[in-house]
Amino acid sequence: MDQKKNTFYVKDFDSSKKQIDAVSPTFCAAKWLQVSLHLTNGKTHSCYHPPTHSIDVSELDANPAALHNTTQKFQERKLMLSGQRPSGCDYCWKIEDAGHVSDRYYRSSEHWAKHKIIEIAQQPFDFNVVPTYVEVNFNQTCNFKCAYCSPHLSSEWEHEIKKFGAYKINGQEHNDIVTLKNIGLMPIDESTKNNPYVQAFWRWWPNIYKDLEVFRMTGGEPLLDANTFKILDYVYENPNKNLELGVTSNLCPPRQDIFDRFLEKVKLLDSVDYNVECYVPDPKDGSKWQTWPHFVIGAKEKAYHKNTLPSIERDEIPQTFPAIGHALEDDSFTYLYNYKDQACKHFILYVSLDSVDTHAEYLRNGLDFETLKNNVRRFLKETTNTSVSFINTFNLLSIPKFKNYLEFVLELRKEFSRETQSIAEPFQRIWFDIPLLRKPEWLSIFNASNAQIEELKVTYQWMAQHTDIVSYNKTFMGFKPFELDKLERNIQMITDNKYSVEIVKQNKKDFREFFEEHDKRRQQNFVDTFPELAEWYRNIT
């Protein structure tokens, strides 16, 4: 593994890796500290790579922590502590076997995990962990029908299948609602209000909130879910300065006022009113003071207040302080100081986007690329303590305009870099990730032709020419070494795990069969949208 690249991803990566390896050769902190919850159907997994498994609803009344601490996770933790490889984590094992750094190391080295490694390694495998990273899907309401999605994750997909029936692919039914229901993927029949998993979450929430370092809401489309706004209001009313708060959105809600409301809520998180009530025993000695117990004042604020408490006479209090001074009978006094600050450490807007322009709109039916771009820029311009991270579910149709996709990222980095932002401590505001699509198989990158793989290699070389190493924490404009590593490992994963000629041939047939029906239902045209693939598409037999 090339450790040089990874020092740019997290601070002190090498020392974190040694700490991880000291626990066991297969240890992953995400199995303990990270949880993705699909409350629509009662499913869970640790990070998003392993397949989901069911939560035992019978345990939730007595122990809502069972949303995360399931019997299956207990067994997987036990395997990891003994140096064995849980089968559900094969995504990382394949990457490591190919000689690259997997997400097991990346995630375990991040701020929400690495400080807990020693603590969790010393506990029995079956203790109830309080996670520091929680991702939640409250319901499947969504105004998009992405080509690789499913009725259990999108209400629009569900409506289409109910209207036209399941797709017929190679003699099999694809996205059939009855089948999805039989295997437990469709949302349960109870409404969100009566959903036992959602109810358990809200009982669990106050117990985990104070320890949370990352909380992310996904969907469906979170901007169409009342629980999203309930969370935003909760954080505003109960500030957590250690929390990174995030929402994954398609950023094209059916009405623009929905985005406007969301944006206003995020802006509020940057301007929470804090009241600090201070007690000064001796008005002639401003260094003797203390805050009232209901507010724990931070070191930065404490130093500030010490510097603004000179020796004063009692009758000078109202003139000396912009806050409210109140004299007490023993010649001491209190004053109330009000200031605005952030409700959380940081807010991240994750934007699902797999290509650009008409390619993106075709893949993610319902997307208007110009609307997305405008909303992204509004978000970055009108908020400060925020960043945007594009999630490219990397698939076969991501390849043709992948370079254009990266150019869009660079364009935003240039526009919203340190040089153009009036912020005290500049930081990277534009991120992207390229996790590989696993299903459906006909859209998988493992069907890529040699020419397509070469195209990705050319894009990799172009990225290398725009890599920001020397000025990594100064301009925030170029690509980072770990981003090159992610593309490099994707290319190697494709090369090493490419489907056989027979499977690719069948997948191409399935691809055409799916998109012919897809175009008929949605009044779209694959050949017109992807002219660079037109000949390839027509020659599928």
Cα within 13 Å of Cα(395), Cβ side: 23
List of residues 6+ apart from 213 with CB closer than 8 A: 111, 112, 132, 133, 242, 243, 244, 345
- Is residue 297's pLDDT more than 50? no
| Predicted pLDDT at 99 | 87
| Predicted pLDDT at 272 | 80
- Is residue 295's pLDDT more than 50? no
CB 32 within 8 A of CB 134: no
> pLDDT of 483-511, one tens digit each?
998 999 899 989 988 899 999 999 999 99
Cα 486-488-490 angle, rounded to 5 deg:
70
CB 388 within 8 A of CB 348: yes
Q: Taking residues 34-39, report their average pLDDT.
A: 96
Which DSSP category does 69 fall into? S
Highest mean pLDDT among 300-304, 317-321, 524-528: 524-528
User: Which of the four pLDDT bands, split at 50, 70 and 90, describes residue 424?
Assistant: low
User: Which of the four pLDDT bands, split at 50, 70 and 90, describes residue 310?
Assistant: very low
Better-scored residue on pLDDT, 218 or 289 = 218
| End-to-end Cα, the chain, rounded Å | 41
Q: Taking residues 293-303, report their average pLDDT.
A: 37
| Predicted pLDDT at 428 | 85
273-276: Cβ within 8 A, 24+ apart: 273/338, 273/339, 273/340, 274/239, 274/338, 274/339, 274/340, 274/341, 275/336, 275/337, 275/338, 276/301, 276/305, 276/336, 276/337, 276/338, 276/339
> pLDDT of 110-129, one tens digit each?
999 999 999 999 999 999 99
| Predicted pLDDT at 299 | 36
- Is residue 155's pLDDT more than 90? yes
**To the nearest whole percent, how much of the chain has pLDDT over 70?**
82
User: Which of the four pLDDT bands, split at 50, 70 and 90, describes residue 340?
Assistant: confident
- Is residue 230's pLDDT more than 80? yes
- Is residue 2's pLDDT more than 50? no
Q: How are strands ordered across the β-sheet holding 290-291?
A: 290-291, 272-280, 333-341, 324-327
* Nearest Cα residue to 305 out of 331, 323, 281: 323
Would you state the torsion angle of the CA atoms of residues 236, 239, 245, 249, taken in this order, to the nearest 10 degrees?
0
List of residues 6+ apart from 290 with CB closer than 8 A: 278, 279
Question: Residue 347: beta bridge partners?
Answer: 245, 386
Range of weakest confidence among 6-10, 216-220, 349-353, 469-473: 6-10
| Predicted pLDDT at 426 | 66
The region that residue 107 occupies, defined by phi over 0 for left and psi between -120 and 50 for alpha, beta otherwise, is alpha
CA distances from 479 to 8, 263, 461, 476, 483 (A): 11, 28, 12, 8, 6
List of residues 6+ apart from 72 with CB closer than 8 A: 53
| Predicted pLDDT at 7 | 41
CA distances from 122 to 25, 28, 86, 113, 180 (A): 16, 14, 20, 15, 40
> To which H or E segment does residue 534 belong?
helix 534-538
CA distances from 292 to 280, 304, 309, 418, 447 (A): 11, 16, 16, 38, 64
| Predicted pLDDT at 342 | 87
| Predicted pLDDT at 42 | 95
Which ranges of 272-368 would DSSP assign to H, the alpha helix?
299-307, 317-320, 357-363
Better-scored residue on pLDDT, 439 or 15 = 439
Better-scored residue on pLDDT, 178 or 279 = 178
Average pLDDT, the chain: 86
| Predicted pLDDT at 37 | 96
- Is residue 291's pLDDT more than 50? no
CB 391 within 8 A of CB 248: yes
> pLDDT of 81-110, one tens digit each?
999 999 999 989 988 998 888 889 989 999
Cα 458-363-265 angle, rounded to 5 deg:
105
As a whole number of angstroms, the distance between CA 73 and CA 148 comes to 27
Q: Could you tell me what percentage of the chain is helix, strand and coil, using 3-state DSSP and rounding each to the nearest 5?
A: 45, 15, 35
3-state secondary structure of 32: helix
Question: Which residue do the tokens 């489907």 mark?
Answer: 499
Question: Residue 339: beta bridge partners?
Answer: 274
- Is residue 389's pLDDT more than 70? yes
Question: Residue 174: beta bridge partners?
Answer: 167
| Predicted pLDDT at 327 | 53
